[in-house]
Amino acid sequence: MSAPTTSEVVVEVRGLCNRFGRQSVHENLDLDIRRGEIIGVVGGSGTGKSVLLRSIVGLRQPSAGSVRVFGENLQDLGPAQRAKVERRFGVLFQQGALFSSLTVTENIALPLIENAGLKRPQAEQLAQLKLLLAGLPANAGAKYPSELSGGMIKRAALARALALDPDILFLDEPTAGLDPIGAAAFDQLLLTLRDALGLSVFLVTHDLDTLYTITDRVAVLSQKRVLVADTLQRVAATDDPWIQEYFHGPRGRAAEQAAERLQEPE
C-alpha cells in the first residue's frame, strides 16, 4: 500500500451538526480528507457514517457547521459553481443504485450525457473504457443490472462513479455482500485506481480486511463526533471500549494476521 505523497487537505469538515428532529446524530464533528489517501470511516450502528458521506457530497444540508471541498464551501456556491465542484466527486452507494431499466453501458454513459454534454455514441464509447477500468469484461456493458452478480454490480457502479474522472471517490460499504475473494479483488482494484489516478477515497465500511489492507487512515465515529482519525495501528491502540472490541476481537485479530501475511516477502 502506497501512502499519500502529500498532506494537502481536499475536504475539510468543521463543526458539523446533523439533527433529525430532536435526535442529534453529529455534534461539532471535524474531519479532513487528504489528497491521494484512502480513509476508512467506521463506527457502531447509528453513528451516522452514511449521513456524514451524504453531508460531504451535498446530498444533505447539515444543521450547522461547514464542509469545504477544494477550498470551496458548497453551501455558499451558486448552482453552476456547485455543479462544477460536484463533478469532481464519484459516489458509489450501498446497493450500487444502478437504474434497472438501463443497460450497464447506458448507466455509465448517463452522467457523461447529462453532466458533460456528450452525445450518446461518444458517451457510450467512453463508458466502455470505464467498464474496463473497473475490471469488467466488455460484454458486460450490454447486460442489465438484474443479469449481473453482486460483484459485477459493485464494479459497474464503480465504473459509473469514475465516469466523470473524479478527484475523490466516496464509497458506502462497497464490499458488503461480496464473498471474501470478490471483496479482496475489489480492494486491490481500489488500490490500483488510487495509485494510477491519484484519487482520494472516502470509504464507509465494516470490513476489517479492507481496513487492514488498503486504508492509510481510519476515522472512528463515536459520541456524535470523530473520536480519532489516524493510522490503523494508532487507532487500534486507542483506549476506548468500542475500538478495543472492534479491532481486537476475533475478527479483528484474524484480519490483522491476514494483512501481515500479505506483507511478508515471498
Q: Please work out, in degrees rounded to the nearest 5, the angle formed at the alpha carbon of residue 33 by the alpha carbons of 31 and 39.
A: 100
Interval 109-153: pLDDT, tens: 999 998 888 899 999 999 999 999 998 998 999 999 999 988 899
* Average pLDDT of every residue of the chain: 89
What is the β-pairing status of strands 168-172 and 200-204? Answer: parallel
Answer whether residue 2 shows pLDDT above 60.
no
Sequence letter at residue 214: I
Query: What is the pLDDT, as a whole number, of residue 226?
Result: 97
Strand partners, 169: 90, 201
Q: What is the mean pLDDT of residues 61-85?
A: 89
How far apart, in whole angstroms, are the C-alpha atoms of residue 6 and residue 223? 30
Asked whether the beta carbons of 232 and 218 are under 8 A apart, the reply is: yes
Each residue's pLDDT tens digit, 178-209:
899 999 999 999 999 999 999 999 999 989 99
pLDDT of residue 264: 62
Q: Cell numbers at residue 40, please? A: 476508512
Instruction: Read off the DSSP letter of residue 75.
Output: G
pTM (two decimals): 0.89
Q: Is the pLDDT of residue 3 over 60?
A: no
In angstroms, rounded to a whole number, what is the distance separating the alpha carbons of residues 111 and 45? 32
How far apart CA 5 and CA 244 sit, in angstroms, is 30
* Sole residue written with cell 444543521: 63
Identify the CATH homologous superfamily for domain 9-70+174-260. Answer: P-loop containing nucleotide triphosphate hydrolases (3.40.50.300)
Q: How confident is the model at residue 265 (pLDDT cuts 50, 70, 90)?
A: low
- DSSP, res 74: G
Q: Report the alpha-carbon distance of residue 3 to residue 206 in Å, rounded.
A: 21
Residue 220, C-alpha cell as written in the block: 472512528
